[in-house]
C-alpha cells in the first residue's frame, strides 16, 4: 500500500493511465485530498464505486499523530507529530491579524550542524517523504476546522521547521507542486510560500529555476570568520558565493 499523499497530481495521473483509468480523474482525487480534506476514499462521491475500491486497494491517505501541543503566550502553537516509524517532527502554527502561517519540517534531524540549532544536536536521521510534508498542512487544516476556524485562513507556508529543505530537494519540489497547484492542490500562491536555507548554494540556484516561491537565507553573521564558527556550511559556501546565488 502506498501513501496517496506521496503522489503529485502528474504522478497520480500516470498511475491511473497505467491502470486503465482516465487520467483526468487525478484532478478530482487531488481536489478531495487538498481542498475537501477527504479522510477516506468513500467520501469521494464523484468517483465510481469501482474506482474508489481500486484506490482503496492500492493506497491509504496518510495522517500524522499529534503527541503533544504547546501554546505560547502569543497563542503560537507548536505541534509534536509522530510519524509512522515512531520518529518525531514539529510544526508551528503562527497567528497573524486575520490569517495563520504554518512552519513545516522537511527532515527528521539535520546534518548542517549549526551551533545555535537544537535540531542539529540530534544529527540527521532521514528526509521526510512528500506525504509527510503534505500531511503537516492537511492535519493543521483539520485542527483549524475542529476549532471552528476557516482552514483557508491558513494562508502562508514557511519551510523553517526541522531540517534543511534544500537537502531534501526532490521531495521539497514535489510537495511544492501540490502546495502551489491553484487548480487541484492546496492553492497557495507561490508568493505566500517561503523556503529557508542555511546556504546550499547550488540548490538555491536550482530552486530559482524550478519554482517562484520565496527564499529566506539564515545568515546569523556578517563575516565569514564568525559565520563559519556558527554554521559549518559556510566553509563550503562562504558569504560571497551565497550572496551571488
Render pLDDT for 134-159 as a digit per residue (tens, 0 to 9): 999 999 999 999 999 999 899 999 99
Q: Are 185 and 34 in contact (CB under 8 A)?
A: yes
Reading the block at residue 131, the C-alpha cell is 506525504
Check whether residue 216 and residue 129 sit in a common domain.
yes
Domain identity same for 75 and 55: no
Check whether 115 has a pLDDT greater than 90: no
Mean pLDDT in residue range 194-206: 96
Q: Number of folded domains in the chain? A: 2
User: The domain spanning residue 95 has which CATH number?
Assistant: 3.20.20.70
Maximum Cα–Cα distance for the chain, whole Å? 63
Do residues 21 and 107 both lie within one domain? Answer: no
**How high is the pLDDT of residue 93?**
98
Cell 469521494 -> residue: 44
Domain limit, last residue, from 60, 79, 105? 60
User: Quick one: pLDDT at residue 224?
Assistant: 86
Same domain assignment for residues 102 and 17: no
113 φ/ψ sector (left φ>0, alpha ψ -120 to 50, else beta): left
User: The C-alpha cell of 108 is what?
Assistant: 527528521
**Percentage, residues of the chain above pLDDT 70:** 100
Same domain, 27 and 93: no
pLDDT, position 36: 95
Q: What is the value of pTM for the model shown?
A: 0.95
- Same domain (yes/no): 175, 89: yes
Q: Long-range contacts of range 118-126, CB-CB < 8 Å, 24 or more positions apart?
A: 119/162, 119/163, 125/87, 126/87
User: Taking all residues of the chain, what is their mean pLDDT, rounded to a whole number?
Assistant: 95
In the predicted model, is pLDDT for residue 188 greater than 80? yes
Are residues 36 and 112 located together in one domain of the fold?
no
**Are residue 216 and residue 181 in the same domain, yes or no?**
yes
The answer, yes or no, to whether residue 120 has pLDDT greater than 80, is no
Give the per-residue pLDDT at 38.
96
Domain with 21 in it: 2-60
Amino acid at each position: 500500500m502506498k501513501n496517496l499523499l506521496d503522489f503529485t497530481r502528474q504522478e497520480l495521473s500516470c498511475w491511473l493511465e497505467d491502470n486503465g483509468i482516465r487520467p483526468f480523474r487525478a484532478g478530482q482525487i487531488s481536489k478531495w485530498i487538498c481542498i475537501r480534506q477527504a479522510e477516506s476514499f468513500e467520501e469521494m462521491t464523484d468517483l465510481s464505486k469501482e474506482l474508489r475500491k481500486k484506490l482503496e486497494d492500492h493506497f491509504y491517505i496518510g495522517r500524522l499523530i499529534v503527541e503533544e501541543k504547546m501554546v505560547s503566550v502569543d497563542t503560537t502553537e507548536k505541534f509534536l507529530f509522530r510519524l509512522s516509524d515512531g520518529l518525531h517532527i514539529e510544526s508551528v502554527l503562527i497567528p497573524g491579524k486575520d490569517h495563520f502561517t504554518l512552519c513545516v519540517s522537511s527532515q527528521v534531524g539535520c546534518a548542517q550542524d549549526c551551533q545555535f540549532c537544537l535540531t542539529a544536536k540530534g544529527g540527521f536521521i532521514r528526509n521526510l517523504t512528500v506525504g509527510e510534508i503534505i500531511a503537516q498542512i492537511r492535519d493543521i487544516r483539520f485542527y483549524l476546522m475542529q476549532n471552528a476556524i476557516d482552514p483557508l485562513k491558513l494562508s502562508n507556508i514557511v519551510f523553517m521547521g526541522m531540517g534543511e529543505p534544500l537537502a531534501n530537494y526532490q521531495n521539497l519540489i514535489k510537495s511544492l507542486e501540490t502546495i502551489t497547484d491553484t487548480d487541484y492542490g492546496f492553492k497557495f500562491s507561490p508568493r505566500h510560500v517561503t523556503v529557508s536555507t542555511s546556504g546550499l548554494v547550488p540548490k538555491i540556484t536550482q530552486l530559482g529555476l524550478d519554482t517562484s516561491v520565496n527564499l529566506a537565507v539564515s545568515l546569523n553573521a556578517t563575516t565569514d570568520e564568525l559565520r563559519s564558527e556558527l554554521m559549518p556550511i559556510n566553509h563550503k559556501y562562504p558569504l560571497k558565493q551565497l550572496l551571488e546565488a
